[in-house]
Amino acid sequence: MKQTEQWSSRLGFILSAAGSAVGLGAIWKFPYVAGVNGGGAFFFLFLVFTILFGLPLLLAEFVIGRHTQKNAIQSYKVIAPQTKWHLLGYLGLIANFIILSFYSVIGGWIILYIYKTVAGQLSGLTVEQYQTIFADTIADPFISLIAHLLFMLLTIVIVARGIQNGIERANKIMMPALFILFLLLIVRSLTLTNISEGLRFLFLPDFTKVTAETILAALGQALFTLSLGVSTMLTYSSYVPKSESLPRSALSIVSMNILIVILAGLAIFPAVFSFGLTPDAGPVLLFEVLPNVFSQLPLGMFFFFAFLILFLFAALTSALSMLEMIVSNLAKGSIILRKKWSWIIGIVIFIAGIPSALSFGVIEDWKLFGKTFFDLVDYLVSNMIMPIGALFISVFVPFKMRKDILIAELQSGGAFPRGLFKSWFFIIRFIVPAAILLILLNMLEIW
């Protein structure tokens, strides 16, 4: 059955897909993963992977979804009937489930910080006090679980409302506001003293620091920030009318995403060094650094509050796409089933996320391969499931879909020159799978 719902406008689709892409990945995860992986070289690799693999892969997912106008599992079934390819849809389903379970924990942290800002608990502290207050907050099992629950409830309520009234409407307000506030934040960060060290850290690549691990992390990061390999973008494109140009939309989304990553880097790294902190603090980095930046601004806590609200929006708009990907496969176009499944799956995801929420307190010493439960699930999805999913999609599209269909989809709604098509086809068919395979095999050697 075809999707019964559609985006109301091109802007609605672009902002929603950009909303899925831009989220914790760009704002929270990129700075800390870059921080742990040596900065500039990681950033450089991330950019190369985003443009060379991310953009073509995004188009590949778009082509599948818009062509079939069905949910992910159905899409693979329709294009490759009586094969096992639809397992790729199930892989996406599981991946979205796992990502959302830990994503929501970080979303909860944002809610907690909004509360603390409003309650006046965050003004005028020292650098060390900001670190302690954050560590204490997330270590409290009760508080962090309530926050995680609140974030999931927000996600559920919006997804249950459907595409146009829920997801699209939320994105149209939240995404533009995010950009504006980021600009303000950067002006502040760049006018701190001693910013050159931070800028050098982010923009000057030191390739001696690159290891197989760095390369895989950069690939994982590129896929994660663009929500690729797990059929989420495929799902969103199934609601796109044939009158829209997919390549144009994909280009806007990738550009917006790169821009936000750069903005986040510019907001955070100069401040990290300027306050004498280190960039390798891990998942807590952003929450420890930014209050320092804002607390030194006139009306600092007001702006911090505004930033946190938009940060929450960015996280929410990505969370929506994950829950939507799962719900669309279960509801199969029925509005009533959409409501029911949004609630059921949302609550189950909350439960699945409990160990992740406790990873910063009660069970922080439970480690496997030196990683906490939280780090482990994040690693599993970003660095294994997403690359593997992307690998299979890059095989599926050129080998299972007819060339004339691909051309028609890419040209529908706008021009897509033949030469560009050939380059895209070549990259998706040979370069992307070969590169991902190499990167994964390279890692196997380390293990």
Residues near ligand PFF (CB under 6 A) are 20-21, 23-26, 96, 99, 224-225, 227, 230, 232, 318, 321-322
CB of 324 to ligand PFF, least distance (A): 9
| Torsion angle of C-alpha atoms 124, 129, 135, 137, degrees rounded to 10 | -40
CB of 120 to ligand PFF, least distance (A): 30
CB of 321 to ligand PFF, least distance (A): 5
Place of tokens 């979303």: 107
DSSP-assigned letters across all residues of 181-230? HHHHHHHHHHTSSS-HHHHHHHHS--GGG--HHHHHHHHHHHHHHTT-SS
Is the CB of 222 or the CB of 432 nearer to ligand PFF?
222
CB of 225 to ligand PFF, least distance (A): 4
CB of 23 to ligand PFF, least distance (A): 3
Is the CB of 97 or the CB of 424 nearer to ligand PFF?
97
Is the CB of 256 or the CB of 293 nearer to ligand PFF?
256
Is the CB of 23 or the CB of 387 nearer to ligand PFF?
23
CB of 257 to ligand PFF, least distance (A): 8
The sign one gets for the Cα dihedral 260, 265, 181, 147 is: positive
Let me know the angle formed at the C-alpha of 341 by 336 and 342, rounded to the nearest 5 degrees: 100
Spatial distance between the Cα atoms of 86 and 79, rounded to a whole number of angstroms: 9
Distances from the Cα of 236 to the Cαs of 82, 160, 183, 232, 330, in angstroms?
25, 15, 28, 6, 15
Name the residue among 159, 157, 102 with its Cα closest to residue 328.
159
CB of 24 to ligand PFF, least distance (A): 4
Spatial distance between the Cα atoms of 271 and 20, rounded to a whole number of angstroms: 27
Is the CB of 73 or the CB of 122 nearer to ligand PFF?
73
Is the CB of 131 or the CB of 318 nearer to ligand PFF?
318
**Closest residue to bound ligand PFF by CB:** 25
User: Please, what's the largest Cα pairwise distance for the chain?
Assistant: 64
Is the CB of 232 or the CB of 292 nearer to ligand PFF?
232
Is the CB of 261 or the CB of 277 nearer to ligand PFF?
261
Place of tokens 């999913």: 389
Q: Residue 368 pairs with which residues in a beta bridge?
A: 371
Name the residue among 245, 205, 208, 254 with its Cα closest to residue 227.
254
CB of 19 to ligand PFF, least distance (A): 9
